[in-house]
Amino acid sequence: MNTLTIAHLFLNLQSYKDQYLTILENPEQYFVPVADAYINIWPVGKEQLYLGDLLQLWLGEKWIVNTEKAPLINTILRDQTKAVPEFDRYVFSLQGNLLTSQNSAQAWSINASESEALSIESLFHYYCVFKSLSRPQTSASFLNATLKKAI
């Protein structure tokens, strides 16, 4: 199984959107690993995120961070123009501590076309959304084949 990169996902995002339902139903397509995509939470541990997980989280707008864009005109029209919210950053990696609330995330910025570090407040919220995802059923033969490829 090839490991995808976040940059590759966003270069081909429209293609993945078009194949979304097929990916969700097919374990071989769903469980394609994505480099640097994981959740690492103390005391829970580290969990790999897969192509299907990220597509569900992003296309369902669950792991997209809303950033405020400042208006370009800052003179007389300032009061008439409001900051426009833009959903620009797609979270793909979370790490932190549930007790100390020292949490961070990595997200892909559509505008900058690069990964950015973010500080997040509610790591537990992101984790609960991830755990609520539906994953396709995997057979024993699929798991054996995956393990053999990993070794």
3-state SS class at 58:
helix
Say which amino acid occupies 114: E
**Matching residue, tokens 């989280």:** 57
User: Within a domain: residue 146?
Assistant: no
- 114: phi then psi, degrees, rounded to nearest 5: -155, 165
Tokens of 35: 């480099």
Range of the domain at 105: 6-135
pTM given for the model: 0.79
Task: Please give the tally of structural domains in the chain.
Answer: 1
Give alpha helix (H) positions in the chain: 6-11, 13-18, 20-25, 27-30, 51-59, 123-131, 140-150
**Predicted local distance difference test score (pLDDT) of residue 44:** 92
**Predicted local distance difference test score (pLDDT) of residue 88:** 83
The more confidently predicted of residues 146 and 33 is 33
Per-residue model confidence as pLDDT tens digits over 61-119:
999 987 555 445 554 455 554 444 456 899 999 999 988 888 999 999 988 899 999 98
User: Within a domain: residue 92?
Assistant: yes
